[in-house]
Structures are given as C-alpha cells and as structure tokens.
Chain A
Amino acid sequence: MHSVMDKPIIQISDLDFWYGESQALFGVNVAIGPHRTTALIGPSGCGKSTLLRCLNRMNELIEQTRMTGQITMNGHDINAPDVDVIELRKRVGMVFQKSNPFPKSIFENVAYGLRIQGLKGAELEGRVERSLRKSALWDEAKDRLQESALQLSGGQQQRLCIARTIAVEPEVVLMDEPCSALDPTATSKIEELIQDLKQFYTIVIVTHNMQQAARCSDYTAFFYLGKLIEFDETTKIFTNPGHKQTEDYITGRFG
C-alpha cells in the first residue's frame, strides 16, 4: 500500500452544475487517484464531459454557467478566489475530442505551452523532443518538425495534441473522447499511449467506447442523466456491476 493512495489527487464533492436554467450535474462525488486512469462513461448528454471540463475550469468560458460543490486538487479548492486559473490549467492539461493542432509547425505546436512559460533554446528543444518521445510520435515526426501540423494524419494529430499537453508537465491529463474521430488503428495506438503515460500522469478519460474504458482504465465512473450511478474499479464495473442501469449500459441494452 502506498501513501499517496489514500490521498486522491482530485476530490469532487457534491458537485452541481447548471447551463443557464438546466442542471447538468447532480451532487456528484468522485475521487481521482494519483497515477491511475479513471474513465467516465455513460450515454450522450449524461454530463461526463461537463464534469471533465470542471476539473480545469474550462466551463468558465461558457456564458451563464454556474456550479456549487467543491473540487479539490491535492486538498486545495480549485475554485477558491485566490487560485490562479492559468496555473491550474498548466497543472491539469486537456486533450479534446476533435484534434485541434494549431496551424503552426509540429515543433511549434509542442513548444507553444513551453514558450508561454518563457522557455527558450536547448531546454525548449529538449522538452519538445521528450514530449514527442513520450507520446510515441518522435520517430514519425523527427524529420519533419518544421512541417505544418495539419499535414499529419488524424491519429498523429491527436498524439501531437497529447504531446503538446504533456510538454507543460501537468499532473493530471484530461481526455475528452480522444479517439472518437479516429480509425481503429489510430485508436489502439492512443490506448497504448494512455497505458504508458499512466506512470507519469493521472489520467481522466471520457469515452463512449466501453471496450476502451475496460482496456485502459483502472477505475470507471458511470453517469446517467447528470448523476453518478456507480463508481468502482473497472474490472468490478465490467464483471460485476452493482447497479442494473450500469449493467444495462455496459451490455449495450441502452445508450
């Protein structure tokens, strides 16, 4: 037993969330363990992406949203008035559903976050190379670093987005259905990557794909209509779910 284990890195307590008048999340409680991959599953519109976007406060960018409850990271309330949201986002990175590389070169994409932190020269290049290696893109990209990122294939683009995210060395990486627009080969590459990255980062992944959740996550949270129905070890959820709804969903009876 490890000491950090009983201290989840992120603790979500009694989270309610509204878009205008409509409530999207109802009293959600989840704990995210360090260096674990947690999958959020559930039918469309169940609030899993909303929850994910609460963790690095991306929901603030949408007008007329409101939340109550508490999200703590390492015991600190991330919504406290004195918390620097920019700093939070550096520590909680995000990979989006649709790969969104900047229309810049491959190198500049990975260097973007680092340049913002003021890195230059050899250190910058080293960090870029390390991130590309970590995201298994180095061999494919090392000879074309100055080419536009938009020349890469869809799967490569998504791995580039992962490389870009981990270049700033976050503690937590949020992934919002990262494979939903990719073919099976590219998907399996990213799943492998997720397995590898677990040793460095805490990963929270939203997915529609049940097999994906089963393959690459340690814990799974099942959401339905904005409520957390079940949260447990992934093996447990998939072999012996505690709720009928969970069972119905994972066996494909609805959703």
Chain B
Amino acid sequence: MTFQRTKRDWQSIGLTAFTATATAAIVGIVLMILGNIVWNGASQMSFRFVFGGTREGMFEASRAGVFPMIFGTLALVILMTVCVLPVGVITAIYLTEYARAESAINRLIRGAINNLAGVPSIVFGLFGLGFFIQFVGGGIDKLFYGGELHYGEPALIWAAATMAVLTLPVMIITTEEALRAIPKGLREASLALGATKLETIWKVVLPQAIPGILTGSILAVGRGAGEVAPIMFTGAAYYLAHLPTHWTDQFMHLGYHIFVLSTQSPDVERTKPILFGSVLVLLMLTFFLNLAGVLVRARIRRRARFGHA
C-alpha cells in the first residue's frame, strides 16, 4: 500500500475551482470599480476642483468645483453626529446599565431598534419629510413665525435629523456591544469601593467603552457621508449659488451631486470628468473619515492599555 492518491477527488476540485472563481470575481469587480474610478477621476483632481465653487458653471469640466458639496456633506455629517452621538450613547447606557435585561418591555425595545437598523433608508426620507419638515418644522413656523416658512421646508437641520434617526440604531447597538464587553468585575470592583452607579459608569465603564463608541460613530459617519435617499427630500439641493450659512438653509451634497450629474446632466459625455472627479472625492472622503476614526481608535486603545486613562 502506498500513500499515493488513488482516484481524483473531483468534488474537491470542483468546489475549490468554483469558490476560488467566485472570490476572484468579487475581488476583481471591486478592484475594477475602484480602478476605473481612480483612473478616470484622477485627471480631474486639482486644487481648483476640490476647493472651487459651482458659480463658474456646474457642468463645465474645466471650471466646476465641488467645494460646496464637500462643505455640505461635512456640515451634514457633523450636525448628524452632534445629534446622534449623545442620544445614542445615553440610550445605550440606559439599556445596558439601568433597564432590567429580562423584562418584556426591554425585549420589545431591542427588537424595535434591531428592526429599525434594517429599515430601507428611503423610508427614513418619508419620515423626515412628513415628520420633521411638515410636522415639526411646520409646527415651529406656525407657533413662532405666524405661518411664514422658516423651518417648514427642506433644510440642513432636517436632513441631519433624518440621518441621525437613520444612524441611531447603529449607534445604540455598537455602543451597547462596547458596554457589554466591559467585564462585570470592573463594575463590581468600583461599586465595592463605595462608588455610586453613576460614578462607576462615568469613571470606569465609559472610558473603557470609548473605542467601541468611536467605532459606532465611524460607522454612522461613513453611512451619513454616502447615503443619499433620505436627504433627497429633506434638505439636499440640486444647485445653490452660496454655501449654507444657517441650519435652515438647503445644502449641496456630494452623493446627491453624483446622482444629479449622472441622471440629469444636459450632456453626459461633457460632464463625465466632473462626475468621476466627484465620485473619487466622495470615496476619498469616506475613506479618510474611516481612516481618521481607525487611527483615533488605535490611539485611545493604546492609551487605555498603558495607564493615564
């Protein structure tokens, strides 16, 4: 008897061939998409394109810039984070540290949060328009401005609010995971030293959970920068001559700009360079936001490990 293979194992060969092809196909497609965008967009990249405005002509490849869109996207993301971060973190703290884990109400809340995370983003657009703009904004106008339109129309603040609601479940879920990952022993040690529950949360639990909370914010920010459907009716504008100066102003958004340029351009061939350029800028923006988040997280982790927390 030898240890040579006696017959070919066709099943194994077939499976390996198929799965390897599938993997290669996915990787190939990803690289192709990114390569295509970088290849076509790189020629458009210039200081003028990134920091220039649209006043010179939105559809002129040689003169158009995307700064207003970058500005609007960043403003949206920052406002959204300001809204969602405290609310998400506080809610997660309540759910993990205060609420009784096994109660039926708690299970219902968790179920609702989980399901909200899977709700199509366009539904949030519906909600944002109907609730924030018509109901809340219209209500503010009726109460304080005698029905004059200030808040009852699409605006930066409502787009940010809609995006905040969209990212709230992600924020809560990731923060909760971060809080749960902290050993029970640390909480007990703090309590056994005579710290109150709040002191324990503030001094022991939260500092430990910061990397996890940051991960949640990064996920939220990444989504906020790229998601277009919810802001189409709640604040993004097709074209604006000026940068938004107030949160009741509308704003231009990179993602929406890409949508507009690809579907409503008067001459697709002529605007293609702008389009590829904008896509490249959006990809780089999300990439850098994520990178910044990863770096901050690593830094905080390191600091937490070596004391001085």
Which A residues have a C-beta under 8 Å from some C-beta of B? 56, 58, 61, 63-64, 86-87, 89-90, 93-94, 96, 98, 100-106, 108, 112-113, 116-117, 146-150, 161, 164-165, 168
Contacts and interface: CB of A to CB of B under 8 A. Distances in A.
Nearest to B195: A116
Given A63-B101, A98-B185, A102-B189, A117 B194 contact: yes
A56 B193 CA distance: 10
Given A112-B190, A116-B194, A116-B195, A100 B185 contact: yes
A178 B308 CA distance: 27
B194 A103 contact: no
Interface in B168-197: 183, 185-196
A86 B198 CA distance: 12
B185 A89 contact: no
B202 to A, nearest CB: 10
Which 5 pairs of residues, A with B, have the shortest CB-CB distance?
A: A90-B194, A105-B307, A100-B185, A113-B193, A148-B307
B309 interface: yes
B192 A58 contact: yes
16 contacts: A63-B101, A64-B102, A90-B193, A90-B194, A96-B185, A96-B188, A96-B192, A102-B190, A102-B309, A105-B307, A112-B193, A112-B195, A116-B193, A116-B195, A116-B203, A147-B306
A48 B239 CA distance: 73
Interface in B76-125: 100-102
A108 B192 contact: no
A102 B194 contact: no
Contacts of A64: 102
B100 A102 contact: no
Nearest to A164: B193
Interface residues of B, number: 26
A93 B194 CA distance: 8
A56 B192 contact: yes
Contacts of A58: 188, 191-192
Nearest to A146: B307
A89 B192 contact: yes
Contact of B194 (A98, A106, A113, A149): A113
B199 A116 contact: yes
A71 to B, nearest CB: 16
Contact of A161 (B187, B189, B307): B189
Contacts of B167: none
Interface of B: 100-102, 183, 185-196, 199, 203-204, 208, 304-309
Given A100-B188, A103-B208, A147-B307, A93 B193 contact: yes
A162 B304 CA distance: 22
A112 B203 contact: yes
A116 B100 CA distance: 26
B194 A168 contact: yes
Nearest to A145: B307
A93 to B, nearest CB: 6
B237 to A, nearest CB: 47
Given A61-B188, A63-B102, A100-B186, A87 B194 contact: yes
A23 B273 CA distance: 75
A103 B186 CA distance: 9
B183 A103 contact: no
Nearest to A104: B309
B185 A113 contact: no
B251 to A, nearest CB: 41
Contact of A86 (B101, B196, B204, B306): B196
Nearest to A60: B191
Nearest to B208: A103
Given A63-B102, A96-B188, A104-B309, 11 more contacts: A58-B192, A61-B187, A90-B193, A98-B185, A100-B185, A101-B189, A103-B304, A103-B305, A113-B193, A161-B189, A165-B193
Contacts of B308: 104-105, 146
B193 A108 contact: no
A148 B308 CA distance: 8
Given A105-B307, A148-B305, A96 B191 contact: no
